[in-house]
Chains A and B, each alone.
Chain A
Amino acid sequence: MRTLDSSIRVNNFEEVNLGYNRDEAVAEASRCLNCANPRCVLGCPVNIQIPKFIQAIKENKMESAASIIEESNSFPGICGRVCPQEKQCEAMCIKGFRGDAISIGSLERYVADWALENKLNDTTHAISNGKRVAIIGSGPSGLACASVLAFHGCEVTIYEALHKAGGVLAYGIPEFRLPKRILQEEIDKLKKMGVNFVFNTLIGATISFSELKKTNDAIYVATGAGLPKFMGIKNEMAKGVFSANEILTRINLMKSFEHDAKTPIYAYKKCLVVGGGNVAMDAARSIKRMGGEVSIVYRRSLDELPARREEVLHAYEEGIEFNYLVNPLEVEVDGEGHVLGLRVAKMELIDEGGKRKSVREIPDSSYVIPGDMVIMAIGTNANPLIRKNIDLECDDKGLIIVDGTKTSDVAVFAGGDAVTGAATVILAMEAGKKAGLEIGKYLGIMD
């Protein structure tokens, strides 16, 4: 796919991937073998009928391609952009065994953008079935659940603690990867379907969970992941050490990158980002756009990076440096407690035959990587507010215990990161969709 030139894009927040034009989409679609037993569908968490929509593109029937996708996924504009396709549908594509897999994600995005441009998203209210459902959290899981339930005529209200809808899609994933106008279109679509959004409302604080239960027939808890993890190393509280969540929230939600932004961002010359996942890439690439040098610090090697391949490639193109096989031991600070760098130990990979190679520290190998800002992007712990505010059975990590999406309370369902711990957007959407169906069954409106 064509991209914005890296020398231009490191100075702005515009979308990096430019998307296919019609000819490119048709050409890519024509490579599809339309297998009799399509493995790609099995690789998709929401089982989109991939060969069917690709054939429609090939035949230039974009409207029909859009409705095929819509049957399984209400948010193709988001998924086409943020799904780790190389680990899902595209990993299963037969073409990929000898050459390049079909770019299914790019095709999905093309169809979604085409539908948007041609105003195909004119959904309407379903006839109300009188059932009221409250959804806690407006992230990908909550949105997916709302979409299923509103389609079947439920009166859905989504409660969001922040002032904007979208959860991680709003505060976490940067503009250059998922433009906020795409997110807004998807949210507007839900509003047209009758979904009600209530902002600045923390369930358990602003409105009690028991009150919510009284006024609704069912509840879906999709509160997302929680507090950012820190390493517990020396001087981690130094001035200049941040969580990726904080930096991303400041930049994406509070628009710190805009010239006249009111929410500040820490001024730095060289930033070290610890971690190798999508959040680490998002943080590194976002902060890079604020000026200065950025280095990733990751304890395994390139092959083990859990981030989406494309993000890693884009990070390289944007001049982000990668330090592999190093693990932070402590934060080096000056007399005033400002960050001076990270003391790291060199690591080596050990192949124990497991899925993921483990690492071990090489004795007496430590050295300092200089930098005046450190961002920790090493995952999250469950938000303690769930346990405190919402009366549901949780495991010892504080994650909600579910059977499917059913919780210890018969009228309450849960899914997404609040159940699994930090995972991907599409897995959260899958759980939301599943919860929508299970809630439908529970309410007796679906079979």
Chain B
Amino acid sequence: MYKVLKNEKLNDSVYLLEIECLEIARESIPGQFVIVMAYEDSERIPLTIYDYDKKSGSIKLVYQVVGASTLELTKVKDNLYAVLGPLGNRALIIENEANLKESMVLFVAGGVGVAPVIPQMKYLKDKGISVDLIYGAKNKSSIILENEVKDIADEVIITTDDGSYGIKGFVTDVLKDISKRYDYCVAIGPVVMMKHVVMEAMSKGLKTIVSMNPIMVDGSGMCGACRVMVDGKVKFACVDGPEFFGEEVDFDMAIRRMNLYKTEEGRAYLKSLEGEHKGCKGHE
């Protein structure tokens, strides 16, 4: 059992989960993820680590309610049944740290993807590397962790789809017009967003690192659910990733594979919201 220190709502569908786990906090490096299980019979959910405190031995995760399993996670108060990690490799930008000395790194985050960019930005800032952030959200009320990112990044540009806050439009609209010279771009968010950021950045000759979040089961190199096509080869996000160089990733394939369980999961989600449907067998 893992003690839950916080499981609080950040906005309508996004939650902050803070868990006490000494070993994971001690071993964590930016870019890594954990797998959590709410209860003994729950689904295993992979979530990127957003913050860790090596002294107090706690980690923080941000998650969005997208189906029955994440909805169930919101109900956990005292203890989580399982937390496994830290999993995956350290952030690719850290892997390439040696060439970064005088560099500037642009982060692009979409939705809850703003949480996992935070430890990477912090890490780079501590090394004296300059970082900027373009952060895209649906609307004003869906923006999270605004103060945190503003405290770290040198410049933060926020976009909203409906223009209710910051610049109206998508992150790519801002990226298109950017004149500053960056050495690397790191994009974390919905797969569709990452795809377009990579295309836009490529046209500017900017190398982009992306963090893939495919379906996973064990998360430690056994089941093979999390495979992604990278540079024409099958890679397993849990052991080869989760980060890859964007121009090598087959995003369309990744988008298709994300939808694999959509009907099954949607059904489970509806069931948990509305209770079991009775007498409509024909719909199955």
Hey, which bits of chain A sit against chain B, CB under 8 A? 161-163, 171, 199-202, 205-208, 224, 226-228, 230, 232, 236-237, 239, 242-243, 245-246, 249-250, 254-255, 261-267, 336-337, 383-385, 388
| CB atoms of A250 and B234 under 8 A apart | no
Q: A4–B79 Cα gap in the complex (Å)?
A: 41
When each residue 32-68 of chain B gets 1 if its CB lies under 8 Å from chain A and 0 otherwise, what string results?
A: 0000010011111000000000000000000000001
Segment at the A interface, from B107-115, B152-160, B223-231: B223-231
When each residue 217-250 of chain B gets 1 if its CB lies under 8 Å from chain A and 0 otherwise, what string results?
A: 1101111110101000010100110000000001
Q: In the complex, which residues of chain A have a beta carbon less than 8 angstroms from the beta carbon of B41?
A: 255, 261-262
Q: A388–B238 Cα gap in the complex (Å)?
A: 13
Q: A249–B44 Cα gap in the complex (Å)?
A: 11
> Could you list 26 A-B pairs, sorted by A, with CB under 8 Å?
A163-B84, A201-B23, A202-B85, A202-B220, A205-B85, A227-B236, A236-B234, A237-B253, A242-B224, A245-B224, A246-B223, A246-B225, A249-B223, A250-B217, A255-B41, A262-B69, A263-B217, A264-B265, A267-B264, A336-B256, A337-B253, A383-B220, A383-B239, A384-B221, A384-B240, A385-B220
Q: A358–B169 Cα gap in the complex (Å)?
A: 61
User: B24: which of A206, A226, A243, A388 is its contact (CB, 8 Å)?
Assistant: A206
| CB atoms of B234 and A237 under 8 A apart | yes
Q: A208–B84 Cα gap in the complex (Å)?
A: 14
Q: A205-B86, A264-B265, A384-B240 are in contact. Are A237 and B222 (CB under 8 A)?
A: no
| CB atoms of B85 and A249 under 8 A apart | no
Hey, which bits of chain B sit against chain A, CB under 8 A? 23-24, 27, 37, 40-44, 68-69, 72, 81-87, 217-218, 220-225, 227, 229, 234, 236, 239-240, 250, 253, 256-257, 259-261, 263-265, 268
| CB atoms of A228 and B224 under 8 A apart | yes
| CB atoms of B223 and A228 under 8 A apart | yes
Q: A200-B84, A202-B87 are in contact. Are A246 and B217 (CB under 8 A)?
A: yes
Q: A227-B221, A262-B68 are in contact. Are A237 and B257 (CB under 8 A)?
A: yes
Shortest Cβ distance from residue A118 to the other chain B in the assembled complex, whole angstroms: 30
User: B261: which of A206, A208, A266 is its contact (CB, 8 Å)?
Assistant: A266
Q: In the complex, which residues of chain B have a beta carbon less than 8 angstroms from the beta carbon of A171?
A: 218, 222
CB-nearest residue of chain B to A245: B223
User: A265: which of B23, B68, B234, B264 is its contact (CB, 8 Å)?
Assistant: B264
Main secondary structure of the interface of A (DSSP, over half): loop
Shortest Cβ distance from residue B275 to the other chain A in the assembled complex, whole angstroms: 12
The 8 A-B pairs of least Cβ separation, nearest first, read A243-B224, A264-B264, A228-B224, A246-B223, A163-B82, A383-B221, A200-B84, A263-B43
Q: A227-B239, A246-B217 are in contact. Are A205 and B27 (CB under 8 A)?
A: yes
Q: A304–B114 Cα gap in the complex (Å)?
A: 54
Query: What 17 additional pairs, Cβ within 8 angstroms, besides A161-B218, A249-B218?
Result: A163-B37, A205-B85, A207-B27, A224-B222, A227-B221, A228-B223, A230-B227, A237-B250, A239-B259, A245-B224, A249-B222, A262-B41, A264-B265, A337-B253, A383-B220, A383-B222, A384-B221
CB-nearest residue of chain B to A386: B221
Q: A263–B67 Cα gap in the complex (Å)?
A: 11
Shortest Cβ distance from residue A387 to the other chain B in the assembled complex, whole angstroms: 10
Q: In the complex, which residues of chain B have a beta carbon less than 8 angstroms from the beta carbon of A254?
A: 43-44, 217
Shortest Cβ distance from residue B89 to the other chain A in the assembled complex, whole angstroms: 9
Q: In the complex, which residues of chain B have a beta carbon less than 8 angstroms from the beta carbon of A243?
A: 223-225
| CB atoms of B234 and A264 under 8 A apart | no
Q: In the complex, which residues of chain A have a beta carbon less than 8 angstroms from the beta carbon of B220?
A: 161, 202, 383, 385
| CB atoms of A264 and B268 under 8 A apart | yes
Shortest Cβ distance from residue A331 to the other chain B in the assembled complex, whole angstroms: 13
Shortest Cβ distance from residue A244 to the other chain B in the assembled complex, whole angstroms: 9
| CB atoms of B257 and A239 under 8 A apart | yes
User: B227: which of A163, A237, A261 is its contact (CB, 8 Å)?
Assistant: A237
CB-nearest residue of chain A to B83: A200
Q: A173–B268 Cα gap in the complex (Å)?
A: 27
Q: In the complex, which residues of chain A have a beta carbon less than 8 angstroms from the beta carbon of B240?
A: 384
User: A263: which of B44, B84, B227, B250 is its contact (CB, 8 Å)?
Assistant: B44
Q: A74–B19 Cα gap in the complex (Å)?
A: 39
Shortest Cβ distance from residue B146 to the other chain A in the assembled complex, whole angstroms: 32
Shortest Cβ distance from residue A226 to the other chain B in the assembled complex, whole angstroms: 6
Q: A224–B42 Cα gap in the complex (Å)?
A: 25
Q: In the complex, which residues of chain A have a beta carbon less than 8 angstroms from the beta carbon of B23?
A: 201, 206-207
Q: In the complex, which residues of chain A have a beta carbon less than 8 angstroms from the beta carbon of B221?
A: 226-227, 383-385
Shortest Cβ distance from residue B264 to the other chain A in the assembled complex, whole angstroms: 4
Shortest Cβ distance from residue A201 to the other chain B in the assembled complex, whole angstroms: 8
Q: In the complex, which residues of chain A have a beta carbon less than 8 angstroms from the beta carbon of B239?
A: 227, 383-385, 388
CB-nearest residue of chain B to A230: B234
Q: In the complex, which residues of chain A have a beta carbon less than 8 angstroms from the beta carbon of B222?
A: 171, 224, 226-228, 245, 249, 383
Q: A227-B239, A230-B234 are in contact. Are A206 and B85 (CB under 8 A)?
A: yes
User: B224: which of A246, A262, A263 is its contact (CB, 8 Å)?
Assistant: A246
Q: A249–B81 Cα gap in the complex (Å)?
A: 18
| CB atoms of B217 and A249 under 8 A apart | yes
Shortest Cβ distance from residue A275 to the other chain B in the assembled complex, whole angstroms: 14
Shortest Cβ distance from residue B235 to the other chain A in the assembled complex, whole angstroms: 10
Q: In the complex, which residues of chain A have a beta carbon less than 8 angstroms from the beta carbon of B43?
A: 254, 262-264
Q: A171–B239 Cα gap in the complex (Å)?
A: 19
CB-nearest residue of chain A to B221: A383
Q: A75–B18 Cα gap in the complex (Å)?
A: 41
Q: In the complex, which residues of chain A have a beta carbon less than 8 angstroms from the beta carbon of B224?
A: 227-228, 230, 242-243, 245-246
Q: In the complex, which residues of chain A have a beta carbon less than 8 angstroms from the beta carbon of B87?
A: 202, 205
Q: In the complex, which residues of chain B have a beta carbon less than 8 angstroms from the beta carbon of A239?
A: 256-257, 259-260
Q: In the complex, which residues of chain B have a beta carbon less than 8 angstroms from the beta carbon of A205?
A: 27, 85-87
Shortest Cβ distance from residue B105 to the other chain A in the assembled complex, whole angstroms: 26
| CB atoms of B42 and A262 under 8 A apart | yes
Shortest Cβ distance from residue A280 to the other chain B in the assembled complex, whole angstroms: 15
Shortest Cβ distance from residue B157 to the other chain A in the assembled complex, whole angstroms: 35
Q: Which of A205, A226, A246 has the most chain B CB atoms closer than 10 A to its own CB?
A: A205
Shortest Cβ distance from residue B176 to the other chain A in the assembled complex, whole angstroms: 30
Q: In the complex, which residues of chain A have a beta carbon less than 8 angstroms from the beta carbon of B69?
A: 262
Q: A255–B37 Cα gap in the complex (Å)?
A: 14
Shortest Cβ distance from residue B114 to the other chain A in the assembled complex, whole angstroms: 25
Shortest Cβ distance from residue A332 to the other chain B in the assembled complex, whole angstroms: 16
Q: In the complex, which residues of chain B have a beta carbon less than 8 angstroms from the beta carbon of A206?
A: 23-24, 27, 84-86
Q: In the complex, which residues of chain B have a beta carbon less than 8 angstroms from the beta carbon of A226?
A: 221-222
Q: A274–B221 Cα gap in the complex (Å)?
A: 21
Q: Which of A199, A228, A262, A263 has the most chain B CB atoms closer than 10 A to its own CB?
A: A262
Q: A56–B217 Cα gap in the complex (Å)?
A: 46
Q: In the complex, which residues of chain A have a beta carbon less than 8 angstroms from the beta carbon of B250?
A: 237
Q: A255–B217 Cα gap in the complex (Å)?
A: 13
